[in-house]
Structure formats: C-alpha cells, structure tokens
Structure 1
Amino acid sequence: MSDYIVRATAYNNKILAIAAFSTQTVQKAKEIHNLTPTTCAALGRTLTSVAMMRVMMKGEKDKVTLVIKGDGPIGNIVAVSNYPGIVKGYVGNPKVDLPLSEKGKLDVGKAVGKNGYVTVIKDIGLKEPYIGTVELQTGEIGEDIAYYFYASEQVPSAVGVGVLVGKEGNVLASGGFIIELLPNIEEKIVAKLEEALRNISSVTELLRNGYLPEDILNHILGGMGLNILERVDLRYECDCSQERFETAIIALGKEEIEKLISEGQSVEAVCHFCGKKYLIEESRLKELLRIAEE
C-alpha cells in the first residue's frame, strides 16, 4: 500500500485532524542513510511529523523545516517538506543504536536527549520565514512537537508518531496524527477528546493492528462528526541538483571562487538528504566565476 496523509475536521470544524501512513517513506530513508533501528525510529517520526505539518499549511509554495537538536548521541535531526506529501531528511549520527528502553521499546528519547530544542521554520512567501524555537521536553519527538504548537503557536494540540521496526531492521509500519483544537471549542468536547487520547496505548500499537490514517482518526474522533477533506500521497524525494549546487557556489562570491580555482582542485559536494555526489571541475569553476562577476 502506498503512503498517504489525510486532512480532516471534526465537531463543526473546531477540530483540525491530520493522520499519516508513512511506511514506505521511512523505509526509503532507512535505506538511503543506512539507519539503525533507533535512528530509523527517530528520523521516521520526524519525517512523518514534518509531512503532516506541511499538509496543514495553505499555500502551494509553502515550505516547512523541522530541526530537533538534543544532547543525545544522535545529534541533529533535520526534516524538510517543500511540497505537500514530499519529504526528505537526515540525522547527524545515523549509526547510533541503543538497547531497548525499560518498556521494551526503541529508546528514541535517550538517543535524542532532553536538553536541546525544537525549531520549526515556515516559509510562506514573506520577506522572512517564521522561525519558532522551544526547548525539548522528552526527546520522544511527538510530545516535543505538541509542546511546540502550544508554546510557540499557542495552539493546543495532541501529536502521536510511531515507527515499527522489524527484527531484520526493516520498517514494518510508520505513521502518526496531529489533532489541533481551534478557538472557542467547548470544554465538554475537550474533555471527550482527552479521554479518547488517554485510551490510545501508542501509535505503534495502532499501526501494528493495521490501522490506516482514516482508522486512526475515527478511533480518536469517532462520534464527533469527522469529515475527511483531503488525501495526499506521501513519498521521500530529494530535489537536489547540479544547478542548485552551482548556484550555491556562485553565492560564495568572486573572492571565494577565485580561491577555489587557485587551489587547482575540483569541488565535490554530497547531499545530506540523499547522498548524491556533485562534482565541479576547474573549467566549470571559471565559468561560474564569470557569472559571479556579472
């Protein structure tokens, strides 16, 4: 089954709900970056989260970047969605693998760490992007993003993300949900929603039982007038290119390009998101220098 995201409302449009099925997307990230089970779960949760956050945005050219930086061994986690349903990402140290937690689960919280921050960068076409940063709460990612929505955007939210990794290291299932409460919602509905969320053991358990995005939202918001508005295909795809790399070289400026040429070496770069290598020979550097001088 292909990955996808659904966007929905409930209770007379006073609840916004997003849910994702991201198994193939996270499996591709696992293969590109050669992730361990622990780092696969960490990056998978982050990719699923940023994909849902992008679907929540309205503009066709909107972009969102999610950065999670804790004091754990995994280092930075970066995930980007420049288009609805298309994501890419990487972790600072993909080789980190830890013993299972006391609950017998992948110990993402320990890998990420608790001392650090969550940063969300939203580019909606204005002169400057919106940048919101909050402190990490647990390192488990879902709870941290929910705290970001509350502390930075003043929107009460519930976020659940999970990645189920098999014994061979492959992704068996991945997905998640974001539930946002819109202004002026009645307290009785808030209480009903909180009770429904308390009855969910974990997203991973729902995925293990075969729940799809619609099932997850029905499980949480059943009886609240759930209305599915949109379904968006989801995939991992990097949009890097030789042209973008060369544009970055031009942006260095005339002096830096002259320095590269004087060293008499080709310039090579490796994309963090997909591992693709780009090479610029000295002859091409001279052409880029002429462009930079114009």
Structure 2
Amino acid sequence: MRDYLIRATAMEGKVRAFAVRSTGIVDEISRRHQMTPTTTAALGRTISAGLMMGAMLKGEEKLTIMIKGGGPIGQIVVDANALGEVRGYVTDPLVDLPLNEVGKLDVAGAVGTDGFLNVVKDLGLKKPYSGSVPLISGELGEDFTYYFARSEQTPSAVGLGVLVGVDHAVSSAGGFIIQLLPGLKDDEITLIESLLSRIEPVTTLLEKGLGLEQILQRIVPNVEVLEEMDVHFRCNCSRERVEQTLISLGREELEQMAEEDGKAEIVCHFCNEQYLFEEEDLKNIINQL
C-alpha cells in the first residue's frame, strides 16, 4: 500500500483534519539508519507529524521539527514541506530500552521529558517563524497537541503511531491531526471528545486495512476530503552539495585533510548516504580555491 495523506474538513467546516499513512517512509528511514524499534517509533511518530504539518503549508514553504528531551536518543530532527516530502534522523539510532510498564515501546524513556519541541517554518519571509514548547510527556502525540494549543493557539488532537515487527520492519505507521475551529458548539466539542476517547490506536486501524478517510470518520462526523496526495522520503543531499561544504572549510584544512588522511568521507545525517572524496578529489577542490 502506498504512503499518502489527506486534508479534510468536517462538521460543516468547523473542524480541520489531516491523516497520513507513512509506513513505507518510516521503514526506509529505519533501514537506512539500522534503527532499533524504540528509535524507529520515536522518529516515525515525528515523521508523520511533520508530513501533516507540511500539508498545512503552501508552495515552496517548509519546516523543521527539532525535539530534544534529555533522553538517550538525543535530538530528533525532521524536515518536511508542502509537497509531501520528508526526511529525518535521531542522534543515536541504536538506543534500545525495555518495554514500558504497559508493554509498549518506551518512546518517552528514549526521548525524555526535560526539554523542548521546536518548530521552525520557512514561509519565504525575511525571518522564519519559530515556535517552541516544553515537552510534557515524551510520547510525542500529546506534545504536538500541546504545541498546537500553546504555540499556534489552535485546539487540536494529535494521534501518532508506529508498529514495528519482530524483524524490525515497520508494519504500519501514520497519524491524524484534528483541529477545532471557531463556531463549534459545546455539544459538538463533547461529541468529538467522546469519539476520540474511544478511538483505537491509529496503527491498529491501519492494520485492519482502513483508509485515511475512514479513520477520520471515526473521530469526526461529516468528513469532506479536500485533497489527497502521495508522500515520500526525500533527501536533498548530493555530491555537489557536500563538495560545497568541503570548499567552505578553506584551503588550509583541506590540505591538512589530504596530507594526513588521504581522503574525506562525509555521511549525510538524514539519509546516511556516504560520500567519499579521495586524495585526488581533494587536490582538485584545493586547486579551485
């Protein structure tokens, strides 16, 4: 099944809703970084949130999510844009913790709760928009819910999930964001809260074969899909970009690198792609300076 996202409204335009299936993307990133199930779950939840938040943007706009909670995983970084493209990494992809007290992957233990969730949006203006909130649970769904309420003043409900098999392959990953807009009556809000309290985990619904529209229909009445789009893992690193990074080091450092190491090996944080520059390559770069 393909990875895709839908943008919708519900309850006569008084609710804005997003849902995403990101199974293939999360599995690819997990394999690229040889991640443990716990770090896959933490990054995968953030990937799904990033894709849906990217769908709130327009044109060439993009955003970066940074989560640093003081846990052993280090920092989570996710880039996403309005085109449905996403990439991400964690500082230590090999962190592995025992299951938590309810028998689930201990995402909160890996992420930590002593830190912040930061979102930086490049909207094409002189200065990027930046919002930051303290982490409240480390489970991430609750933290993004708090971010929308506190930083963007939009009451929201965020559900995120990743299911990892015994072979470490991702069997399902995805999420939803429900945002309450002005005009909702108290009884309508109560209805949404009641439906949310009974909703099964998003991974369970995906495993059952439900489509994204069907998932949203279990949370809010009268869903109207406005847009459906494919989503993809995409890293914009390239040998040319890495070469420009080497050039920025300056002649002296490049000459020292060529003399002492005889090569330079650069690994992209996001996709784990390796770029090797042999001594002759380094000398050619030096000659351009």
**Would you call these one fold, judging by a TM-score over 0.5?**
yes
Give the AA of the match of 2:192. Answer: L
Task: Give the corresponding residue for 2:122.
Answer: 123
Equivalent position SS for 1:20: strand
- CA deviations 1:52-75 (Å, max 9, x no partner) are 1101112x2111111111121111
Could you tell me how far 1:43 is from its partner in structure 2?
1.1
Separation (CA, whole Å) in 1 of partners of 2:204 and 2:120 = 31
- On the 8 A contact 2:55/2:81 being kept in 1, the answer is no
- Structure 2 matches for 1:128-147, cutoff 5 A? 128-147=127-146
Separation (CA, whole Å) in 1 of partners of 2:157 and 2:214 = 17
- On the 8 A contact 2:38/2:95 being kept in 1, the answer is yes
| CA shift in 2, pair 1:264/1:75, >3 Å | closer
Could you tell me how far 1:203 is from its partner in structure 2?
2.1
Separation (CA, whole Å) in 1 of partners of 2:254 and 2:81 = 29
| CA shift in 2, pair 1:120/1:291, >3 Å | farther
Task: Give the corresponding residue for 1:180.
Answer: 179
Give the AA of the match of 1:241. Answer: S
What CA RMSD, in Å, does the superposition of the two structures yield over aligned residues? 2.1
Task: Give the corresponding residue for 1:266.
Answer: 263
Separation (CA, whole Å) in 1 of partners of 2:175 and 2:206 = 9
- On the 8 A contact 2:264/2:277 being kept in 1, the answer is yes
Structure 1 stretch displaced more, 204-213 or 193-202 = 204-213
Separation (CA, whole Å) in 2 of partners of 1:16 and 1:290 = 56
Separation (CA, whole Å) in 2 of partners of 1:156 and 1:277 = 42
Separation (CA, whole Å) in 2 of partners of 1:183 and 1:146 = 17
Equivalent position SS for 1:74: coil
Give the AA of the match of 1:32. Answer: R
Give the AA of the match of 1:71. Answer: G
Could you tell me how far 1:186 is from its partner in structure 2?
2.8
Q: TM-score with structure 2 length normalisation?
A: 0.91
Could you tell me how far 1:281 is from its partner in structure 2?
4.4
Equivalent position SS for 2:51: helix
- On the 8 A contact 1:72/1:113 being kept in 2, the answer is yes
| CA shift in 2, pair 1:121/1:252, >3 Å | farther
- CA deviations 1:244-276 (Å, max 9, x no partner) are 112223444566556656767433210011111
- On the 8 A contact 1:88/1:236 being kept in 2, the answer is yes
| CA shift in 2, pair 1:262/1:144, >3 Å | same
Give the AA of the match of 1:85. Answer: G
- Structure 2 matches for 1:51-130, cutoff 5 A? 51-58=51-58, 60-130=59-129
Equivalent position SS for 1:220: coil
Equivalent position SS for 1:110: helix
Separation (CA, whole Å) in 2 of partners of 1:260 and 1:49 = 40
Q: How many residues align?
A: 289
Task: Give the corresponding residue for 1:19.
Answer: 19
Give the AA of the match of 1:48. Answer: S
Task: Give the corresponding residue for 1:279.
Answer: 276
Separation (CA, whole Å) in 2 of partners of 1:263 and 1:184 = 67
Q: Does 1:245 align with 2:242?
A: yes
Task: Give the corresponding residue for 1:206.
Answer: 205
Give the AA of the match of 2:45. Answer: R
Task: Give the corresponding residue for 2:33.
Answer: 33
- On the 8 A contact 1:101/1:107 being kept in 2, the answer is yes
Could you tell me how far 1:280 is from its partner in structure 2?
3.4
For structure 1, which runs of at least 5 residues remain unmatched after alignment? none
- On the 8 A contact 1:164/1:208 being kept in 2, the answer is no
Equivalent position SS for 2:124: coil
- On the 8 A contact 1:51/1:84 being kept in 2, the answer is no
- On the 8 A contact 1:77/1:90 being kept in 2, the answer is yes
Separation (CA, whole Å) in 1 of partners of 2:82 and 2:287 = 33
- Structure 2 matches for 1:143-158, cutoff 5 A? 143-158=142-157
- Structure 2 matches for 1:218-229, cutoff 5 A? 218-222=217-221, 225-229=222-226
